[in-house]
Structure 1
Amino acid sequence: MTDEPDDVPQLDVPVGMFEDIEDLKAQLARLTALVKQLAGGEDGEPGGPPADEEETAGGQTAEDEEEWQYPPFILLLDPPQYDDELRALIEWVEGVLVPGYLAEPSAEARWCHLWFEHPVAVARLHACWLAWQELTDPATCGYTGPSVWHRDHLDPCLRELRASNGPFSGCTKGEHQVGHRLPGLVPSAWRQED
């Protein structure tokens, strides 16, 4: 004889739902401990490690689980990491962006074939590429990610890069100028001349 009542309905529970609930419980426990720690509650003094820091969902320890690292922004990198990231960016720009999205350059829509020598272009295109990596993966963004990427990242990026006053404004077909956007003297708010 079982202890369950006879009128318990049989529910179809999706596979994996119990694991999701357990993960949520573990996250809630960690957040609760963190709030108590930050508030100086029973788990310790503020600034100390939480009591259950080593435990994570599924009974794994923090050392077993590799922490996700976001890719760094390219302008914050030093060689050789900068060079490696730039090579990967060049592959994406020349393999995806240029053939798929850039029409013939014109006075209204400029493009420089040596875009990687323009720091502003590298910065904008790298940011656009990072967003593309995240927003074209249905596992992280669903099916609307590509639309969001086009609207929020690609279109504004290309508008700024290809504008008549953008980083390629001094570059014309067959000619390339990198220094056309660099000011000769930048005034400083810290130093005033008498």
Structure 2
Amino acid sequence: MAEVPDPEIPMGLFQDVEDLKAEVARLTAQVKTLTEDTDTDAGKAFTDDDSAAGVETEEEGQFPPFILLLDPPEYDYELRALIEWVEGVLVPGYLGEPSADARWCHLWFEHTVAIARLHALWLAWQELTDPATCGYTGPSVWHRDHLDPCMRELRLSSGPFAGCTKGEHQIDHRMPGIVPSAWSLTED
């Protein structure tokens, strides 16, 4: 039997409470289904309604790894996607004419430091331009905390493009001979 709304409670509040009750009941049933049926893949137990309600499946909840930690062919796929973003969004929208004080290399993808910084910038952009993830202030945070510092570091006259001019391309980076131990597991 349905509850009769109390005339003292505003109708909108009553409807909100009823919606919340229904959502709690749905989530409780989902948890029960997932915990009872351990033989089934948890990702398959989600319905289309769940994804529309913002429930992340196992695949959707995975974050992309940092590009320098990838091996081929994953590295190649990630680099190709990064190049599309840099050339399609970043360069036309944010880069002015290169100068001695603000360098840019058209072969930026051959500079490991640039790949690392731009990939981190792109990951932040993906997260901070989605209102569902960060609200409407995300783009402002991305500009202030990610874009501006990244571009400052990349485009410095002493940055990774220091040897590159319009007619020349140089990669004079110091490359580590050994991968830092924090990035690899070593057996003693």
What TM-score, normalized to structure 1? 0.68
The question of 1:182 aligning with 2:174 is answered yes
Match of 1:147 in 2: 140
2:103–2:155 Cα contact (<8 Å) kept: yes
SS of 1:144's equivalent in the other structure is helix
Counterpart of 2:124 in 1: which secondary structure? helix
Largest Rg, 1 or 2: 1
Residues 75-107 of structure 1 show CA distances to partners (whole Å, capped at 9, x for unaligned) of: 111111111111110010000100110011111
* 2:131 matches 1:138: yes
State the aligned residue count.
Answer: 158
2:42 matched to 1:62?
Answer: yes
Q: Which amino acid aligns with 2:138?
A: G
* Aligned-residue offset at 1:139: 1.3
Cα distance change, pair 132–115 in 1 and its aligned pair in 2 (3 A): same
Quote the Cα distance in structure 2 between the aligned partners of 1:166 and 1:107: 11
The one of 161, 170, 183 aligned to 1:168: 161
d(CA) in 2 for partners of 1:174, 1:116:
17
State how far apart, in whole Å, the 2-side matches of 1:115 and 1:138 are: 30
**Whole-angstrom CA distance in 2 between matches of 1:79 and 1:129:** 20
Measured on the aligned residues, the alpha-carbon RMSD in Å equals 3.5
Return the alpha-carbon distance in structure 1 between the equivalents of residues 166 and 135 of structure 2. Answer: 40
Pairwise CA distance, 1:165? 1.3
Mapped to 1, the partners of 2:169 and 2:103 lie a distance apart of: 12
Contact 1:53 1:62 in 2 (8 A): no
Q: Are the aligned partners of 1:55 and 1:61 in contact in 2 as well (CA < 8 Å)?
A: no
Indicate how the Cα distance of structure 1 residues 134 and 174 shifts in structure 2: closer, same or farther if over 3 A, else same.
same
Percentage identity across paired residues of the two chains: 65
Aligned partners of 1:89 and 1:132: how far apart in 2? 11
Deviations 1:90-148 (A, max 9, x none): 01000010011001111100000000000100000001001111111111111111100
| Contact residue 128 and residue 142 of structure 2 kept, 8 A | yes
Does the 8 A contact of 1:161 with 1:167 survive in 2? yes
Between structures 1 and 2, the one with greater helix share: 2
Q: Provide the secondary structure at the position in 2 that maps to 1:105.
A: coil
2:5/2:11 contact within 8 Å kept: no
Cα separation, 2, equivalents of 1:5 and 1:177: 74
Alignment correspondent of 1:33: none
- Whole-Å Cα distance in 2 between the matches of residues 53 and 121 of structure 1? 47
Which residue does the alignment assign to 1:75?
A: 68
